[in-house]
Amino acid sequence: MTEPSWRVLNRAMWDERVPFHLSSRLYDLPRFKAGALSLRAHEIADLGDVSGKELIHLQCHFGKDTLSWARLGARVTGLDFSEAAVKAAAALAREIGVDARFVTADVYDAPAALGQRTFDIVYTGVGALCWLLDMERWAKVVFDLLRPGGQLYLYEFHPLRWIFGENADRPEIRDAYFTPVEGYAVGGVTYADATAPAQPTPTIQWNHPLGEVVTALAAAGMRTHSLRELDGDVLQEWPMMVKCEDGLYRMPPDGPSLPLMYVLRAWREG
């Protein structure tokens, strides 16, 4: 079966970004290697004690969040379609002495790539869903990876955030909320390092409204426990945003309050 051109294009971009991200100030690997966690406080509080639990991190990139969960006691597996990222993740795990397994595979192929193994937690982090065309297939993957009673923890950019133009002085609507099926042609990812190539590899991305994500999970047999919208962002999207005590950037007090991220938790009941 011929691989979709959008996937080939996107994987090439992520392969290209790995060395830049490993040295970027945003990812701050020296601090992480010294023992810092890359997870947000609310993620740790939400999932509580993960000691001994089996966790699969889908679209794990080079594994900082995956290894952070391992440092908290989880038995972790990270999966990503970029071989360069997976090799970097495995090398990082060895360097810091953390036990973790990393697998190179597309997210839609995860159950087969993992030998139909099931987990207590499926974790997927910031900026993951925009790289996926089909939410129904993704939700079925999540269901198949979870054992009964297992949960999905999704911490993601709010779909409303994606309608605004990047690097603008203020919020200005650029794109439609509902993405056409062919996706949006977007420049490469440049959020982590200003020294990256001026003309990064282009990508194809999709914005998935909350209703689409929740409905796909319900159709797959998942029960949504909570959906929490957040007014903070892990990135400073606009210059006027203020960094708060929890490390998230928010609009100033005299600015509009916008939903910028969300946390969705869902369980497989049977």
For 216-246, the DSSP string reads HHHHHTEEEEEEEEES-BSS--STT-EE-TT
Band (193; pLDDT cuts 50, 70, 90): low
What is 5-158+207-232+259-268's CATH superfamily? Vaccinia Virus protein VP39 (3.40.50.150)
Provide the token pair at 142.
């999540």
Two tokens at 249?
């950037």
Question: How do the domains of the chain map onto residue ranges?
Answer: 5-158+207-232+259-268
Distance CA 173, CA 125 (A): 25
Q: How confident is the model at residue 125 (pLDDT cuts 50, 70, 90)?
A: confident
* Angle at alpha carbon of residue 13, lines to 15 and 108, rounded to 5°: 80
Euclidean distance between CA atoms 114 and 54, whole angstroms: 13
Which run of H or E residues covers position 95? Answer: helix 83-96
For residue range 50-87, list pLDDT tens digits in order.
999 999 999 999 999 999 999 999 999 999 999 999 99
Q: Which two tokens mark 56?
A: 């699969």
The predicted-structure confidence for 20-42, as pLDDT tens digits, reads as follows 999 988 899 999 999 999 999 99
* CA distances to 54, 107, 110, 120, 173 from 104, in Å: 18, 9, 9, 21, 36
> What local confidence, expressed as pLDDT, does residue 173 receive?
73
DSSP secondary structure of 21-70: HHT-TTT-HHHHHTT---S-HHHHHHH---TT-EEEEES-TTSHHHHHHH
Is residue 200 pLDDT above 70, yes or no? Answer: no
Write down how long the chain is.
270
- Distance, CA of 65 to CA of 213 (rounded, Å): 22
Asked whether residue 190 carries a pLDDT value surpassing 80, the answer given is: no
User: How high is the pLDDT of residue 201?
Assistant: 76
98: its two tokens: 């953390």
Q: Per-residue pLDDT for 194 more than 50?
A: no
